[in-house]
Amino acid sequence: MEHDSGMNLRRNLEAQEALISEICRIAGAPGLSISVLHRGDQVYSHHVGHASVKDGKTPDGNTIYFIGSMTKAMVSALVGILVQDGTLDWKAPVSHILPELAHAFNGRGSEITLIDLMSHRIGMARADALWLQCAGNILLSKSEALNAWISQPTVRAFRADFLYSNFAFETVGRIIEKSTGKTLGANLQEKIFGPLGMTRTSLNDEFSKDPNAAKAYFPLKDGTPVEVPVPTISDKTIMAASGGVRSCTNDLARFYKNLMHAANDQFNHQRTSTPGSPFKQLSTIWSPHNQLPVHSMRETSYALAWARTQLPSPLGSFNYNKHLVPAMPVIGRGLPSRLVVYHGGSMQGFTSAVYLLPETETAVFALQNSSALCDACDWVPQMLVQTILSGSPQSDIDFVQLATVSAARGAKHADEIEEKLQRSRERGTNPRPLKEYVGRFRHGSKSFRIDVTVDSDETLRMCFQGMPSETYCLRHLHHDVFVWNEPHDVTARRGRFQTRPVESYIIRFGSTSQGGGIDRLYWLYDETHAEPGMFRREGGVQLAADADMPN
């Protein structure tokens, strides 16, 4: 690759365009934008399908997408700038900024640093289901989020294990805002977006209304795209630091070009800043701080919002294809070893991926406006990385076949969940009279509630956080156990991720004493929990037993 001209590289990438379109078709991805940098220059860009299916609008380099967890790298860059100017400190306990952390996390809260948070080594359960369900909804407020997280159980060893956490970066965002007195969006605009000329990148919710902003989609089982509400995350809500940035490939090209140039300068000259660049402290940001759970003899570590992998190795640790195929392909097999720095992102109706080869200032990144049957937005960049490394459009990795296998599995996931639940059913049991299950059940953090009611047609339903669009039918499984899973197409139309595990769809009611009345509800909302979370029934709350609640 080092001796490949930009023209030859472009020809090799253009030769993959038929495969790119086929992978998008298989996945049910209506639109995808991809860009490639080499030696710091943009050598290739390509746009597939539609930014808006209804309007037939083709995306371009200025089309705005949600970039999901690729936001985290921008936040880590911002933290580096704030460390450089003395506002923040990598290794100082953050409890002096957020005192509510001091006694949290089983007594470890007073030790936690920014590096702990940003390298995902806290060990607390993720608890994403408490804030992320249907498209367009955010289930926790800013005042509730931190308390919801610190009430979670410890499920991994502190500073010893990797457990990805959106709440960790939500906490980093809160630290930034409290330390600077400015919103996260204002900080990013002032320190990074403005200096780099990223005029179509923001945490502002208004950017989603831009005439050239992509719509959000989920595919039905047959691949037909269904439009869903775009995410509403912004710097006015929780999780802005975890996945709230909207951007376009033209702006991201500016970001990654300058980032790689500054990283090479700072590593090579052993310094923390680069003349003319906003980026600081990149030797800390890009150094390994944790180990990724990837089976490989070579380095597979996690820096601060970036994975580091020494090729040849599997990639794609942050996108959902890894759950849909027996094994991820080994990228770079038989080729000289190279360091890849990468990440992915996902929000309802959007996915993203970026792969950087810093030594040659090469970047491959893609944005997609669908939570598809499989993630074309990760298969395509991996295919192009393999093309770049090999110097040839020919590959022994069949990415179309990988897309076919993973999309078929993605389309069957809801059916597989229903089959597993039915196999677990104990026959011959009956529920109590449904009105006995009616009540308000609240999580121990006091931040999350589940209301259970009975419709006039004798259907038991539960509602998360009092939101009508978060209402689900509870179907009897056995004894006091109910399930709330839905068919693939229903879940798609809601804009809910299809990848939740079977255990998360089980609701068990219980009582303090044997034979007593229902006073608690158990839900395994996080698969890393050893036991389902308990929600206690609140006294004095009257919910009509015959209330009609929306579907």
Write down all domains in the chain, each with its CATH number in brackets.
6-70+199-410 (3.40.710.10), 434-537 (2.40.128.50)
- φ and ψ at 28, to 5 degrees? 80, 35
Q: How far is CA 261 from CA 135, 191, 266, 277, 353, in A?
A: 37, 17, 9, 9, 20
pLDDT (tens digit per residue) in 468-488: 999 999 999 999 999 999 999
Q: How far is CA 1 from CA 5, 7, 256, 381, 489, in A?
A: 8, 12, 19, 16, 44
**Does residue 291 contact residue 92 with C-beta atoms inside 8 Å?**
no
Paired residues of 523 in beta bridges: 507, 533
CA dist., res. 454 & res. 439, Å (int)? 10
pLDDT at 544: 59
Residues in the chain, how many? 551
CA dist., res. 380 & res. 378, Å (int)? 5
Q: How far is CA 339 from CA 259, 316, 388, 397, in A?
A: 16, 14, 14, 20
pLDDT at 516: 87
CA dist., res. 477 & res. 421, Å (int)? 8
Region for residue 115 given its phi and psi (left: phi exceeds 0; alpha: psi -120 to 50; beta: otherwise):
alpha
CA dist., res. 249 & res. 247, Å (int)? 7
Judge if pTM exceeds 0.75.
yes
Burial class (CB in 10 A: 0-12, 13-18, 19+), 269: exposed
- Please, what is the end-to-end C-alpha distance for the chain in angstroms? 55
User: Which tokens go with 8?
Assistant: 């030859």
CA dist., res. 185 & res. 509, Å (int)? 42
- φ and ψ at 144, to 5 degrees? -100, -25
Paired residues of 313 in beta bridges: 331
CA dist., res. 90 & res. 81, Å (int)? 11
Q: How far is CA 130 from CA 167, 292, 442, in A?
A: 11, 25, 12
**Does residue 30 contact residue 314 with C-beta atoms inside 8 Å?**
no
CA dist., res. 129 & res. 375, Å (int)? 21
pLDDT (tens digit per residue) in 250-282: 999 999 999 999 999 999 999 999 999 999 999
Which residue numbers in the chain have pLDDT < 50? 1-3, 545-551
52: DSSP letter: B
pLDDT (tens digit per residue) in 166-176: 999 999 999 99
CA dist., res. 27 & res. 380, Å (int)? 11
**Does residue 403 contact residue 374 with C-beta atoms inside 8 Å?**
yes
User: Which tokens go with 374?
Assistant: 């499989």
Nearest to 208 by CA among 178, 228, 183, 193: 228
- φ and ψ at 175, to 5 degrees? -60, -45
